[in-house]
Amino acid sequence: MKQYDIGFGYLGNGITVWNRLEQQYGDYKIIAHIDHNRQVKFYEDLPQEIKDRISYFALTANPTISATQDQPVFY
């Protein structure tokens, strides 16, 4: 069974979600994207538990663009 250690990061157009346990093109594999209005796009078929964690983050998190810029990522 495939393992997941997911990470979230702002890359300019919402939140990118990656799996730290898998690499693609020399970087962590991107598995989903959360756009500015909190809609999630999954890039592969994921276990329901992982989808739920990503969706929960999309609904509840209030991240800022960076530690030094307090502009919110989500509208």
Q: Is-contact 21 27, C-beta < 8 A?
A: no
If residue 8 lies in a helix (H) or strand (E), which one and from where to where? strand 6-10
- What does pTM read for this prediction? 0.88
Structural domain includes residue 73: no
Q: Is residue 33 part of a domain?
A: yes
Q: What pLDDT sits at residue 75?
A: 80
Average pLDDT on 9-36 reads: 95
Would you state the pLDDT for residue 16? Answer: 96
- Is 90 exceeded by the pLDDT of residue 1? no
Q: Is residue 69 part of a domain?
A: no
- Interval 64-75 mean pLDDT: 83
Give residue 74's pLDDT. 84
Can you give the residue range of the structural domain that contains 27?
6-60
Total number of residues shown for the chain: 75
Average pLDDT of the chain to the nearest whole number: 93
Q: Please indicate, yes or no, if residue 55 is contained in any of the structural domains.
A: yes
Number of domains making up the chain: 1
d(CA 27, CA 30): 9
Position 64 scores a pLDDT of: 84
CA distances (Å), 7 to each of 40, 44, 55, in order? 15, 16, 13
Report if residue 75 sits inside a domain. Answer: no
Q: What is the dihedral of CA 32, 40, 52, 12, to 10 degrees?
A: 60
Any domain includes 29 = yes
